[in-house]
Amino acid sequence: MPITKICCIGAGYVGGPTCSVIALKCPHIRVTVVDKSYERIAQWNSSKLPIYEPGLDDVVQQRRNKNLFFSTDIAQAIEEAELIFISVNTPTKTFGNGKGRAADLKYVESAARMIADIATGDKIVVEKSTVPVRAAESIMNILRANHKPGVSYQILSNPEFLAEGTAIEDLLNADRVLIGGEESPEGQAAIEQLCQVYEHWIPRKNIITTNTWSSELSKLAANAILAQRISSINSLSAVCEATGADVSEVARAVGLDSRIGPKFMQASVGFGGSCFQKDILNLVYICECLNLPEVAAYWQQVIDMNEYQKSRFSAKVIESLFNTVTDKKISLLGFAFKKNTGDTRESPAIHVAKTLLDEGAKLHIYDPKVEESQILLDLTHPSVTAEPEHVRERISIYKDAYSATKNTHAIVICTEWDEFMELDFKRIYADMMKPAYIFDGRKILDHDKLQKIGFIVQTIGKKLIRSSISRVWGSQTQM
Binding residues for NAD(+) are 10-15, 35, 40, 88-92, 129-130, 164, 275-278, 345
The residues near 463 (Cβ < 8 Å, ≥ 6 apart) are 240, 241, 242, 243, 244, 479
Q: What is the 3-state secondary structure (H, E, C) of 148-201?
A: CCCCCEEEEECCCCCCCCCHHHHHHCCCCEEEEECCCHHHHHHHHHHHHHHCCC
- Among 20, 32, 43, 89, the residue binding ligand NAI under the rule CB under 6 A is 89
Q: Does 368 bind ligand NAI (CB under 6 A)?
A: no
- Among 20, 25, 26, 40, the residue binding ligand NAI under the rule CB under 6 A is 40
Spatial contact of 59 and 172, defined as CB atoms under 8 Å apart:
no
Nearer to ligand NAI, 77 or 397 (CB): 77
Question: Helix, strand or coil for residue 359?
Answer: coil
- Of 9-17, 181-189, 253-261, 296-304, which segment contacts ligand NAI by CB under 6 A? 9-17
Catalytic one among 19, 240, 275, 414? 275
Nearer to ligand NAI, 105 or 457 (CB): 105
Give residues 268-297 in contact with ligand NAI (rule: CB under 6 A).
Answer: 274-275
Q: Does 69 bind ligand NAI (CB under 6 A)?
A: no
Q: How far is Cα 142 from Cα 138, in angstroms, rounded to an integer?
A: 6
Based on the residue annotation, tell me whether 275 is a catalytic residue of this protein: yes
Site track for ligand NAI across 103-132, x = CB under 6 A: ----x--xx-----------------xx--
Closest approach of ligand NAI to the CB of residue 180, in Å: 15
Q: How far is Cα 283 from Cα 142, in angstroms, rounded to an integer?
A: 23
Neighbouring CB atoms inside 10 A of 446's CB total 13
Give residues 19-38 in contact with ligand NAI (rule: CB under 6 A).
Answer: 34-37
Q: Does 17 bind ligand NAI (CB under 6 A)?
A: no
402 CA to centre of own chain: 27
Nearer to ligand NAI, 182 or 343 (CB): 343
Q: Does 15 bind ligand NAI (CB under 6 A)?
A: yes
Q: Could you say which DSSP state residue 258 is in? A: T
Q: Could you say which DSSP state residue 86 is in? A: E
Q: Could you say which DSSP state residue 445 is in? A: S
Closest approach of ligand NAI to the CB of residue 16, in Å: 7
Closest approach of ligand NAI to the CB of residue 366, in Å: 24
Handedness of CA 10, 11, 12, 13 (dihedral sign): positive
Q: Could you say which DSSP state residue 465 is in? A: P
Question: Helix, strand or coil for residue 124?
Answer: strand
Spatial contact of 86 and 110, defined as CB atoms under 8 Å apart:
no
410 CA to centre of own chain: 27
Q: How far is Cα 354 from Cα 384, in angstroms, rounded to an integer?
A: 6
Nearer to ligand NAI, 220 or 428 (CB): 220
Spatial contact of 24 and 134, defined as CB atoms under 8 Å apart:
no
42 CA to centre of own chain: 23
- Among 32, 43, 90, 215, the residue binding ligand NAI under the rule CB under 6 A is 90
Give residues 136-195 in contact with ligand NAI (rule: CB under 6 A).
Answer: 160, 162, 164
Q: Does 12 bind ligand NAI (CB under 6 A)?
A: yes
Q: Does 52 bind ligand NAI (CB under 6 A)?
A: no
- Among 10, 187, 435, 461, the residue binding ligand NAI under the rule CB under 6 A is 10
Point out the residues that are catalytic.
275
Residues near ligand NAI, by CB under 6 A: 9-15, 34-37, 40, 74, 87-90, 107, 110-111, 129-130, 160, 162, 164, 274-275
